[in-house]
Amino acid sequence: MFKLKHNKFFMVTVFAVTIVFSCQDNFKDIQNIGMPQTEPISEAENINLKYTSKLADTSSQSSVKANLISPKMLDFSNRDFGYQEFPEGIHLIVFDDDGGQSNIFSDEATIFTETDLIDLRKNVIIVTQTNDTLFAEQLYYDQEKEWLFTNQPVTYKSKDQIVNANAYSSDSKIEKGGLSEVTGIVYLDEN
């Protein structure tokens, strides 16, 4: 009789443990039912996003650090490494701590949700607050660090010269000093 009770207890225990360990958190899978992995979770038009940060001297006020404007956004945040894609380009206005602003344009862009990195691609143009202009085919903007960078060729045009370089790295002020590996300088006539 003891052996029969022991076998029943063992079978019930094995069954209970099997049920507990077979249950999983399938919420993400349930969200994606009926949605192909190649499709965005949502689409939006006429986007106008403002990125803010709290002011150091107050806990209730914030300042606008950047403003992203785009005709279309595709949201792929349902992926393992979520992102938003802007297939029709963006206009990004970046504000520095001194109140100046720079305007960034690109034909395509992707914002990676987990890293706060914006990948700007195709015909990237930056116009600084002093009307200097930076041209690139790809440029990254780190929203958290407020930092622009690329390791691809760029052209920087100011009122007195055009500088070609193989890399660029700068804060939100976007200055000529961010150029590295300079490949050529053309001096412009100031007339």
pLDDT at 57: 59
Question: Residue 34 is encoded by which pair of tokens?
Answer: 């009926």
- pTM of the model as a whole: 0.71
- Residue 88's SS3 state is coil
| End-to-end alpha carbon distance in the chain | 109
Average pLDDT, the chain: 81
Is the pLDDT at 30 greater than 60? The verdict is no
65-87 average pLDDT score: 91
What pLDDT band is residue 154 in, cutting at 50, 70 and 90?
very high
Sequence-ordered list of residues with C-beta below 8 angstroms from that of 43, at least 6 positions apart, any chain: 72, 73, 74, 75
CA distance 41 to 77: 7
Q: Give me the architecture of the 39-187 domain, per CATH.
A: Sandwich (2.60)
The pLDDT tens digits for 86-96 are: 999 999 898 87
For residues 101 and 95, the answer to whether their CB atoms sit within 8 Å is: yes
Domain chopping of the chain, boundaries: 39-187
pLDDT at 177: 75
Count of CB atoms within 10 A of residue 143's CB?
Answer: 19
